[in-house]
Amino acid sequence: MKKNLPVTDIESYLPEGKFIYSRTDLKGVVTEANDVYLEISGFSRDEMIGSSHNIVRHPDMPPAAFADLWQDLKQGLPWRGLVKNRRKDGGFYWVIANVSPVREGGRVVGYQSVRSRPSREQIAAAEAAYQAINKGAAGLSVRHGEGLAASTTRKKRLLSFQFGAGLALVGMAANIAALLFKSAMPDALGLACAIFSALTLSYFVFACCLPVKRGLVRLERDLNAVLASGNLNRTLERGGPSDEVARQISLLITSLQATLQGMANIADELQAVMNVTGQSAEDIRLRCAEQRDSAAATAAALEEMTQSLHEVATHSHDTYNVAGRVGEQAKQGVTQVHGAESAMQALTQTINHSAGQIDTLNQRSNEIGRITAVIQEIADQTNLLALNASIEAARAGEQGRGFAVVADEVRKLAERTHVATEEIGSMVSAIKTDTAAVVDGMGIGNTQIQEGCVRVGELSQSLLSINDEMIETLQRIQSVSTATGEQSQALQSIASSMDQVSQGTDSTLQHAQHMSARTVELARMVERMRMAVNQYDL
């Protein structure tokens, strides 16, 4: 194992209320270290970050202590113990190290260590134990950060509890056997079994169960004291069969203490960063005062610009008057457009009416077609009857009865043809009437269209007048352009003042960048706090 030499007897002390915080990856390479750590170890941040955590290992620390540390960490358990560290100059300092795994997404991604100042009694006890271990004292080892006598006492307690439990089971078995075989067993033997069972149970209760109960009562008392006072440094009373339970709870409290100490340290760093940020804000305020002076110069230039703007206002007033006249002309144009619109609407109505009449005419034409079909049918039948009459007449010779019948049918068909002809005449007359109405409607529409054309002509004249007014407006705009030239000169003066403002702004930007860097550092610290809190499922 690497030994960091040389060493001296000069001891440094971690200030009260200060905590060392560091973080490593899974291989023990330092990734984070607070200022307190750098100050007491004597290493710079560049020397510390990226180096192995054993850069501060002191030769007086037994290798068994670090083997115990890594054994617990590899099992996902926190570790708490006293550690003697070496400074860069060879001196040393003692700390209570609280090391715990850092978890993200349910898996260990690194380790964090929060170290505080131990008492002189704790240092003396640890120093004596470590010296004995380094000298090879038999029966000594480091277990979960504590120097123990090879866990002999704990093993004895476990064997005693197991012996008592086994003895009680034997007594109970003897008593059950006595009850089952009572008839075949002498009374004296049965009584002896009962007495043996009672004695073994009494031994188990008084020698095994009562110590467990007393240990749990002590543990409950200590936990209530921790909850009531909030003092996580309070030591839970150990010993007895419940010693393992107390140790596990102590590990949990140690892990919680490490997290809270880390958060307290981060809060201190945040406060320091905020102090620097406040100073930067003050510097920005002073720069803003300089910008205010430049703004005063800008205001003087704006005064010149105001004079030019007065001319612009005068021309704008004249332009407004011209625009007013243009507006009146536009109003007239709008009125005339509305008249044309009304005429067009009336034309639309007339055309719609004419369309209806044309539709009626179409219906009448359909009737004519139907009647024409009837006439055609009559003509066909008349032709057929005439043919029959000729045939009958030829056959009858002098006898013309058949011809008389045919002649009668021809007469009836002629009558029907006459009636149909009259209907056709009526329909044709109606068509003529409707057609005349359509013609009249179209004439009215034509007249209204002519009126619309007249209105459009008037609108054209109005637009011509508007065009003349717009020419005059353009002339006024030319005057405005001249005034704008004067404004340009004033703007040059403004630009000069704004250049000074720009220089002040550049300085402000530098300070803002400094504040931004501090903000990034603040965000990193907040992220550390978040990761510390997220280790626990709240």
pLDDT at site 60: 93
Average pLDDT of span 382-400: 70
Q: What is the pLDDT of residue 434?
A: 72
pLDDT, tens only, 21-36:
899 999 999 999 989 9
Q: What tokens were used for 149?
A: 């006598």
Q: How far is CA 104 from the centre of its chain?
A: 21
β-pair type (79-86, 107-116): unpaired
**Percentage of residues of the chain with pLDDT beyond 90:** 16
With tokens 């044709």, the residue in question is 428
Helix (H/G/I), strand (E/B), else coil: 399: coil
Nearest to 474 by CA among 347, 308, 318, 291: 318
List of long-range contacts for 470-479, beta carbons under 8 Å, 24+ apart: 470/326, 472/322, 473/319, 473/322, 473/323, 473/326, 476/315, 476/318, 476/319, 476/322, 477/319, 479/315
> What is the C-alpha separation between 313 and 303, in angstroms, rounded?
15
Q: Is the pLDDT of residue 157 over 60?
A: no
100 close to 258: Cβ distance less than 8 angstroms: yes
Q: What is the 3-state secondary structure (H, E, C) of 84-104?
A: EEECCCCCEEEEEEEEEEEEE
DSSP 106: T
Cα dihedral sign for 195, 196, 202, 205? negative
pLDDT in the model for residue 52: 93
Q: Is the pLDDT of residue 164 over 60?
A: no
- Rounded Cα gap, residues 199 and 306, in angstroms: 114
Which helix (H) or strand (E) covers residue 33, if one does? strand 30-33
State the chain's mean pLDDT as an integer.
73
Asked if 403 contacts 392 with a C-beta cutoff of 8 angstroms, the reply is yes
Identify the top-confidence range among 84-93, 256-265, 438-447.
Answer: 84-93
Please give the residue that has the higher pLDDT: either 282 or 188: 282
pLDDT for position 26 = 94
- Sign, Cα dihedral of 524, 529, 535, 537: negative
pLDDT of residue 38: 95
Whether residue 176 has pLDDT greater than 70: no
Checking 452-460 for CB contacts under 8 A at 24+ apart, the result is 452/340, 452/343, 452/344, 452/347, 455/336, 455/337, 455/339, 455/340, 455/343, 456/340, 458/336, 459/333, 459/336, 459/337, 459/340
pLDDT level of residue 425 (50, 70, 90 thresholds): low
Task: Give 143: exposed, middle or buried? Use CB within 10 Å, 0-12, 13-18, 19+.
Answer: middle
Pick the more confident residue, 311 or 371.
371
Question: Taking a C-beta distance cutoff of 8 angstroms, is the pair 21, 114 a contact?
Answer: yes
pLDDT of residue 297: 72
Beta-bridge partners for 103: 108
pLDDT of residue 196: 63
pLDDT score at 58: 94
For 464-502, write each residue's pLDDT tens digit.
677 667 677 766 766 766 666 666 666 667 766 666 666
Cβ atoms 101, 92 nearer than 8 A: no
Q: Are 389 and 403 in contact (CB under 8 A)?
A: yes
Report which of 421, 429, 431 is spatially closest to residue 376, judged by C-alpha positions: 421
- pLDDT tens figures, 47-79: 999 999 999 999 999 998 999 999 989 998 888
Quickly state the pLDDT bin for 536 (edges 50, 70, 90). very low
Please write the tens of the pLDDT for every residue from 300-309.
666 676 666 6
What pLDDT, on a 0 to 100 scale, did the predictor assign at position 171? 59
pLDDT at 264 over 90: no
Cβ neighbours of 100 (radius 10 Å) = 27
Sign of CA dihedral 201, 203, 209, 210: positive
Whole-number Å distance between alpha carbons of 277 and 146: 44
Q: Confidence class of residue 152 from pLDDT cuts 50, 70 and 90?
A: very low
Closest by CA to 84, choosing from 118, 132, 133, is 118
Burial of 395-417, coded b for 16+ CB within 10 Å and e otherwise, reads eeeeeeeebeebeebbeebeebe
State residue 457's pLDDT score.
65
For 102-112, what is the mean pLDDT? Answer: 90
Grade residue 368 by pLDDT with cuts at 50, 70 and 90: confident
Least confident of 200-214, 359-373, 495-509: 200-214
Please, what's the largest Cα pairwise distance for the chain?
173
Task: Measure the CA dihedral 169/171/173/179, to 10°.
Answer: -150
Cis previous bond, 6, omega within 30: yes
**Residues found in the chain:** 538
Whether 148 contacts 142, CB under 8 Å:
yes
Q: What pLDDT does 151 receive? A: 45
pLDDT tens sequence across 312-356? 666 666 666 666 666 666 666 656 666 666 766 676 677 667 667
